[in-house]
Structures are given as structure tokens and as C-alpha cells.
Amino acid sequence: MRLRRADWRPWAFGLLVVAAAAQAGDEIVEQNVLQGKGKVNWTEKTITARGSGAPNKKAASPAAARLGAERAAKLDAYRNILETLKGVQVSSKKTGKDALAPAEISSQVEGILRGAQVIDTVYYSDLSVDVVLRMPLDGALTDALVPKPAKRSQVPSKGPLKNTGLVINAKGLHLVPAIAPRVLDEKKNEVYGVEFVSEKSMSETGIAGYVKDLDAAKKNDRVKDNPMVIKAIDTDKSNKTDIVISNADADRLRDPATNHQYLADGKVLIVVD
């Protein structure tokens, strides 16, 4: 797919907001509107950025000038995808910038981002080039940014599996998407989070997905067939990322006589505005 240059322009000049939520169709998109060069798609679980490169007027030939511009565009896109990642909410207490503060993590992530896929290259008549890169949030990035828990919490897995996933309806709560959200009961005790997801599932699909439509969520492949559906009653006021459910629903998820293996498999969808 080819992107028009206008698709990446900021929405307005002079904006003081670094990022704002934008909704494209049924997708949850967080776009950097100050510079218009990066976005996070929470439905696809991807991070995308554009880079631009200008030709070297002293190049030996037009072909060499364009090749140099393409290389410069890629470097610019790598920088922009890293800057966009810094604005991502990793957890209730950390942004991407916080998670990248340790030098070893920053170096590791920079190496991971070098594997980003080129999804579009646009050549212009003046020999300048735009390059668009995309990288999945799940997988290597999640492994690098989200610390592994010291101990995994066991989910109830006795008996036949009745439900195939969990759908949490958080519409109307203005939830802020994150790579590692938590689900809490009314006393703020953790019901679901990093500690409950297997290492394999954490790496492959992450803790949860985000969608906008409740009916579509019930048929989503992540939780397909027969998900348990519960209504969130609030978000943690200190961060707007962690979800609060009723004590009654929390007890359902903790019931030792019910098989909730889907939690360990990360088969959780959160429905947001």
C-alpha cells in the first residue's frame, strides 16, 4: 500500500499535545500529532513511523543521489519509530521513555527496531525519498520493555474449559491502552496481568488486545467461540490504564473450580471508546 505524503502531516500547527487518540474505522490508533511522523495501532498491535531523506546534490549521479536519500530516509524513520515508542504506555507506571532509560534496554530495543519492516517507499521527482517502517509491539519489543515477573501466578485450570477467552467492556471509561495493563478488583488487588500470562503467550500475543466494537470482540479470533464477557466499573484513577472490575466478577475469574486457562494464554480483549 502506498501512502500519500499528506497522510502523515500533523493535524494542526502549534499543537502542544504530543499524542492524541485517533480512531480509524474500527481500529484504536494513537498518533503523534505534533510532528505527524509516527503512530501506534493498538488493534493491530503495531508501531509505524515515516522518515524523509533529501538527495546529496554533490552525488556522482541521480541514481546515487536517490540511493543516498533512501538510506537517509530509513535512518530518519528508525529515529522516528524510536521516538514514537517512547510515548507508548508500557504499564500503569511506565512509558516507553521510562522503560528505555537503562542503557542496556535502550541498546537492545534499538537493535530490535532495525528489524522493522519497510511497508512503503515513496520517490519524488526532486530525488527525495520517504520510507515508512512498521514493527509489531508484541514479540521482541514486549520482551524487552516488560520485565519478566519473578514468579508466575497460577490461573485456575481444573475441569473442562467452558470459556475460550475474556472480553472486558471498558467503554465510557476513557481507558488509556498499554502494552501491559492490569485488571484489578475493587480493593485494587490484581486479578490479571503480566504474572498470569505464560512466557510463551506473553511473547507471541501480549497480555491483551484492544478493539472498539463489543459485538465484534465476541467473535474475534483472539477470544473466539465462547468468551466470558464482563463490564469494567472503573479505571485506576492514578493512571487510567489499569481496569477495575467488580469483586463478584473478580471472584468468577478466581474460582478454583473453573478452568480459566485462557488467561494464561493471553486470550483477553479490552473494548474501549
Q: What pLDDT band is residue 102 in, cutting at 50, 70 and 90? A: very high
Max avg pLDDT among 24-28, 35-39, 134-138: 134-138
| pLDDT for res 3 | 35
On the CB side of 245, CA atoms within 13 Å amount to: 22
Q: What whole-number distance in Å separates Cα of residue 63 and Cα of residue 56?
A: 11
| pLDDT for res 32 | 60
The per-residue pLDDT for range 204-230, each reduced to its tens digit, is 999 999 999 999 899 899 998 899 999
| pLDDT for res 37 | 86
Residue type, 203: S
Task: Please determine, for residue 11, whether its predicted confidence score (pLDDT) is greater than 60.
Answer: no
Model pTM above 0.75 = yes
Task: Please determine, for residue 248, whether its predicted confidence score (pLDDT) is greater than 80.
Answer: yes
Query: Chain-centre distance of CA 132, in angstroms?
Result: 18
Q: Which residues, in sequence order, are CB contacts of 4 under 8 Å at separation 6+?
A: none
Residue 144 contacts residue 89 (beta carbons within 8 Å): no
Question: Can you list the alpha helix ranges (DSSP code H) found in the chain?
Answer: 62-86, 96-99, 103-113, 140-145, 199-204, 214-217, 247-254, 261-264
Residue 191 contacts residue 126 (beta carbons within 8 Å): no
On the CB side of 113, CA atoms within 13 Å amount to: 26
| pLDDT for res 95 | 95
